[in-house]
Amino acid sequence: MDWLQQFFPHPVSLYQGAAFPFALLFNYLCIMDSFSTQARYLFLLVGGGALALAAMGSFALLVFIPALCTVVLVSSLSPQEVHRWTFFFQMGWQTLCHLGLHYTEYYLQETPSTRFCITLSSLMLLTQRVTSLSLDIHEGKVEAASGGIWTRSFLSEHLCKTLPYFSYLLFFPALLGGPLCSFQRFQACVQGPSSLCSRLSFWTLTGRGLQILGLECLKVALSQVVSAGAGLTGCQQLECVYVMWSTAGLFKLTYYSHWILDDSLFHAAGFGSELSPSLGEEGYIPDADIWTLETTHRISLFTRKWNQSTAQWLRRLIFQHSRGWPLLQTFAFSAWWHGLHPGQVFGFFCWAVMVEADYLIHTFANLFIRSWPMKLLYRALTWVHTQLIIAYIMLAVEVRSLSFLWLLCNSYNSFFPMVYCILLFILVKRKHKFN
């Protein structure tokens, strides 16, 4: 089972760990007021450039070029036009890079280089920051630096004005991971007084380290169990359900560990602090809410809590601006943003249907289930069903290939999403009758 290797320490985690001393140094210098505002922006930008070159090599150009083009577009277009142009440019650039991955994996039948995969991951995160910034400008939350950055007489002035944009798009704590940080929060943390910087205590840092250690130990133990089993290619009947659940558990543990590490790096650099309410900025949103993810019996709640900052970004970017079928449009865009691999297209479409079914099932259940014993039984059954459906979707999205997708769809695992599809069909009819 060579694919199990992806669950062990990933190069991204190693590079994130190597960035910790620089994050702590940045935070310390800010607290000591040893930095001017421009020096802070430059520190974050140079750190991001150095981390990109170390992690991606020559592929770092694929991240630098769209960052530069975004600043040019933001500085030269009107607020009414900036979001549309930056969105299509960034998604077009990212799609071309994903097509390169498709060509390597499916046409050449070769394993893509690790550096290229890291670059694609960083490019996806850059897309979040680009579209978040352009939406802020479009909605009037951020004032764009206008006037054209190529005017000779004002070149230095405009470079100073655009430095915060360059720094935001490439700052090293968010380059390879971490929750989405809005430009307003970024600017407030960099420009604000030292009291805004997060003083990450030794015990807090130790606690997060112990969490990561515990998750990694669980991951090693579970990977041994999975590798000793038959796998989805050799399992039979109900055994495939156990294989699916345990494999999805490995994916979850990997994500949880990465998210906590990314969150720790954010806090170490001072970007995880709670800002003053007078700044009008939303509170800090970490990506990992492990307790809710593992205890919820609702797929819709799991969807909102899974990778929270990305879920909110998708809601703001697509869901709130969709005139028809917003849920389906949001998941379709998510599949596009992830690269449109066959498993991802199927997985995200299935996820959208499951969320829609979840809303109806729980709405009708709340109307008809009254007694506490029945509510307890209902919650237990829906919790098991939710976890198994999420495991099914996760395997489809993560493994991606058509051959594996075919095995997954032809296994007993397809029973669980099919139950929700049948209930959705029945309840939609009943909903029309009630209306």
CA distance linking residue 150 with residue 196, whole number of Å? 35
Put residue 213 in one of left, alpha, beta given phi > 0 → left and psi -120 to 50 → alpha.
alpha
How distant is the alpha carbon of residue 302 from its chain centre? 14
Active site residue 307: yes
Residue with tokens 């070769």: 110
Active site residue 338: yes
For 146, counting Cβ atoms within 10 Å of its Cβ (0-12 exposed, 13-18 middle, 19+ buried), the class is middle
Which one is catalytic: 338, 341, 362, 385? 338
Which one is catalytic: 98, 138, 158, 307? 307
Helices (H) and strands (E) in the chain, counts: 18, 0
Residue 332 and residue 348 in contact, taking contact as beta carbons nearer than 8 Å: yes
Structure-token pair, residue 107: 């046409």
Q: Rounded to whole angstroms, what are the CA distances from 372 to 281, 299, 369, 376?
A: 41, 22, 8, 6
CA distance linking residue 101 with residue 108, whole number of Å? 10
CA distance linking residue 280 with residue 433, whole number of Å? 45
Residue 245 and residue 418 in contact, taking contact as beta carbons nearer than 8 Å: no
Residue 408 and residue 396 in contact, taking contact as beta carbons nearer than 8 Å: yes
CA distance linking residue 41 with residue 28, whole number of Å? 15
Q: Which active-site residues does the annotation give?
A: 307, 338
